[in-house]
Chain A
């Protein structure tokens, strides 16, 4: 089946630094990628929708200047957490949407990146 990878799987950074998380669709072209964050014992919260070659659409309450999303190709989207603070510590998950077997769009999730800001 379709595979989505995320890198890194875990990252610890100091407050004030920036962290980049990559999301790749390995064997299909993703027309759209989504970024989620998840706090412990809570549901996934959609942060932004990313379409290749265009600006990301951010959900209400998500700071676009803090969470920079770049979708440079049909197989790669990056999320950069700028000037990270401890409250940004979370589990970040991406997903990629591509055409499935019967010509309908299906969503595939990456394994997630655990960010800890000290």
Chain B
């Protein structure tokens, strides 16, 4: 089974709204990474958060990590139509991906 499991599977919002997606994992980790994938394209690394970090920001992205709950969340603020993509998480322990969250941002 996958190490990273994203939730929800699909999310549809209006431009300007915030989008939050979650990831759960099963074992202890050193770091967790979030990726974006546009339809038919390769993966783009968004952000890496280490196990001793609780929150990390990068532009409009905010990632939190709760190692006690083995979960992470990715928040995209002030979403844009260009943010429409699938988002995946993966950990350094297990490189299997979950199904991802398909985000659709409507203009």
- Residue A44 at the B interface, CB < 8 A? yes
Interface size of B by CB at 8 A reads 22
For residue B100, which residues in chain A have a CB less than 8 angstroms away from its CB? 43
Interface on chain A toward B: helix, strand, loop, or mixed SS? Answer: strand
CB <8 Å contact, B95 and A104? no
Q: Which of the residues A40, A49, A110, A112 comes within 8 Å of B95, measured between beta carbons?
A: A49
Q: Which of B40-72 contact A (CB under 8 A)?
A: 40-45, 48, 50
Interface size on A, residues (CB 8 A): 25
Q: Which residues of A contact B44 (CB under 8 A)?
A: 109
Task: Verify B35–A43 contact, CB threshold 8 A.
Answer: no
Please determine whether B45 and A91 come into contact, CB atoms closer than 8 angstroms: no
Kindly identify which residue among B31, B35, B40, B96 contacts A104, using a CB–CB cutoff of 8 Å. B31
Tell yes or no: B20 within 8 A of A by CB. Answer: no
Tell me the complex Cα distance, A31–B44, Å. 21
Do A110 and B42 have beta carbons less than 8 Å apart? yes
At the interface, yes or no: B90 with Cβ under 8 Å from chain A? yes
A residues apposed to B, CB below 8 Å: 1, 34, 36, 40, 42-46, 49, 91, 93, 95, 97, 100, 102, 104-112
Extra contacts besides A43-B2, A91-B40 (16): CB < 8 Å: A36-B97, A42-B99, A43-B100, A44-B43, A44-B88, A44-B97, A93-B42, A93-B43, A95-B43, A97-B92, A104-B92, A105-B30, A105-B31, A109-B43, A110-B42, A112-B42
Supply 22 A–B pairs (Cβ within 8 Å), ascending by A: A34-B95, A42-B99, A43-B99, A44-B43, A44-B97, A46-B95, A46-B96, A46-B97, A49-B95, A91-B40, A93-B43, A95-B95, A100-B48, A104-B31, A105-B31, A106-B31, A106-B33, A106-B48, A107-B95, A111-B41, A112-B41, A112-B43
